[in-house]
Structure 1
Amino acid sequence: MLIALGCIVLTATVYYLSKKIYRRFRFAFLTPLLVAPCILSSLLVGFHINYSDYDSGGRWLSNMLQPAVVGFAVPLYKFRKVMKKYLKVIAISMTTGVTVALISSGVFSHLVHLNDSYLLSLLPRSITTPIAMAVSVDIGGMPTMTAIFVIVTGISGLIIGPMVIRYLHIKEKLAKGLLLGMGAHGAGTSKALEFGSEEGAAASLAMVLAAIFTLVFAPLLTPLIL
């Protein structure tokens, strides 16, 4: 019990410090998505802590992710007026974005000859971790690998997203937010908030809707992609 509690405190502390570091320097490769796992891995190796011991506490945090998903209803309610005003644009953007994300994951998997388990784990990479892991289980993937793919996608979107916005000269705040929230889930939403509150709101909305759309489309498209 003490080991589990200690690991929970360790994880929370490292994540908190990682966020402080990112806010201080605002450098993409210092995102908590990358820094926190690296620090934790180094500590486990350095202090010869078995992963099974660490996971005795980490599992508690993982289990709390699923009920935390209920909190995603808050952005939907908070930004309901924005949804109503731009319903058609948002619906088309989310449908297109989710479909492209799923199909591109499938195409990439076939190009590099990934087996079906890895392919199915890769499909929900563009949505937030707890829902991505749930989708992965539903379609037959490996949730642990899905979590890794989600992190890689988030970091990639954090770097590439702003470059796309600059290259395409995107000025509309809604478009910036939808792009970052859809393409890089939580990491993209964090980046969108650096552009402004409206961009952050749109990204939060996109992140939630992308997860919902993926829950619907992933089981339907999976047989076609395989």
Structure 2
Amino acid sequence: MNFELFLHYRPWLMAAEVTLIWSFVTIGLYLLSKRFHRRYKKWWTTPIIITPILLIVITLLSHTNYNVYIRGTHWLMALLGPATVAFAIPIYRRRNIIVLYWKTLSIGVVFGSILSIASAWFLASAVGIDDAIRLSLLPRSISTPFAMVISGEIGGVPELTALFVILTGIFGASFGQLALYWLPLKSKLSMGASFGLAAHVAGSSKAYELDNEVGTIAALVMVLTGLFNVLIAPLLEAVLS
């Protein structure tokens, strides 16, 4: 009888083991890479770069495919939404920024979003990228929870969009400070807006390293950009269909 019960619950137990193992590996690698980055502060030592590379190596060595890994860590993906909403706390504390610069922020979010979508579409079309991949590229410059929702609505592949979002964030956070050095953008408002608009969460984290107010503006622009893109997703779907 006990053996029959074991066979009955075996699939559930195996799923629980997979979840525990890959969740432990993912979180553990992130914490280790975060500690490493504190000691060696280079753009290439950031956890968002080191952790995925180490995970890829481990999954390849263990012959684990993507489906198995994502089944074990899907709950971490579900936490992206609450993590994004958590940015509302520093935004609320600096709500005076919205009052002071609401016109500038609104114009930046609208035109920045349009430029990001248009550039992705035309560049992807110019090199002949497949329609599904091209649609998955469009929301690459907003945070993952917003981007995956939009990708699904316009006919893209949400999982592929998540990858593009991560790559965009890595690139923006890594080279954003260098780009700002050469660009005539010296105010905290312009620097924060650039990081938040171009590199979402990764850019906002990098902006907080530079200055608390710059990071707050970046987080604010990131959230506003995500909300704006979600609102225009039906219009975008109608235009592209």
Deviation at 1:50, TM superposition (A): 4.3
**Highest relative contact order (Cα 8 Å, sep 6+), 1 or 2?**
1
Deviation at 1:69, TM superposition (A): 4.3
Aligned position for 1:26: 41
Aligned position for 1:166: 181
- What is the correspondence of 1:160-199 to structure 2 with a 5 Å cutoff? 160-199=175-214
What SS does the aligned partner of 2:86 have? helix
- Of the three residues 25, 28, 48, the one matched with 2:63 is 48
State the Cα deviation string for residues 77-129 of structure 1 (Å, max 9, x = none): 23321101111111111111111111111111111111221111001000111
Is 2:23 aligned against 1:8?
A: yes
What SS does the aligned partner of 1:39 have? helix
Q: Is the 8 A contact 1:154 1:184 kept in 2?
A: yes
TM-score of the aligned structures, taking structure 1 as reference length: 0.91
Q: Distance in 2 between matches of 1:170 and 1:23?
A: 27
State the Cα deviation string for residues 44-84 of structure 1 (Å, max 9, x = none): 22233344433222122223334544434434423321101
Gaps of 5+ in 1: none
CA distance change for structure 1 residues 168 and 140 in 2, over 3 Å: closer, same or farther? same
Q: Distance in 1 between matches of 2:79 and 2:208?
A: 25
- What is the correspondence of 1:81-120 to structure 2 with a 5 Å cutoff? 81-120=96-135
Is 2:84 aligned against 1:78?
A: no
**Percent identical residues:** 39
CA distance change for structure 1 residues 115 and 49 in 2, over 3 Å: closer, same or farther? closer
When the two structures are aligned, how many residues end up with a matched partner?
A: 226
Aligned position for 2:4: none
Q: Distance in 1 between matches of 2:187 and 2:47?
A: 28
Aligned position for 1:200: 215
Q: Distance in 2 between matches of 1:154 and 1:162?
A: 13
What SS does the aligned partner of 1:110 have? helix
Aligned position for 2:75: 60
Partner letter of residue 24 of structure 2? V
CA distance change for structure 1 residues 219 and 30 in 2, over 3 Å: closer, same or farther? farther
Gaps of 5+ in 2: 1-15
CA distance change for structure 1 residues 166 and 134 in 2, over 3 Å: closer, same or farther? same
Q: Distance in 2 between matches of 1:67 and 1:20?
A: 24
Structure with larger Rg: 2
* CA RMSD, Structure 1 to Structure 2 (Å): 1.9
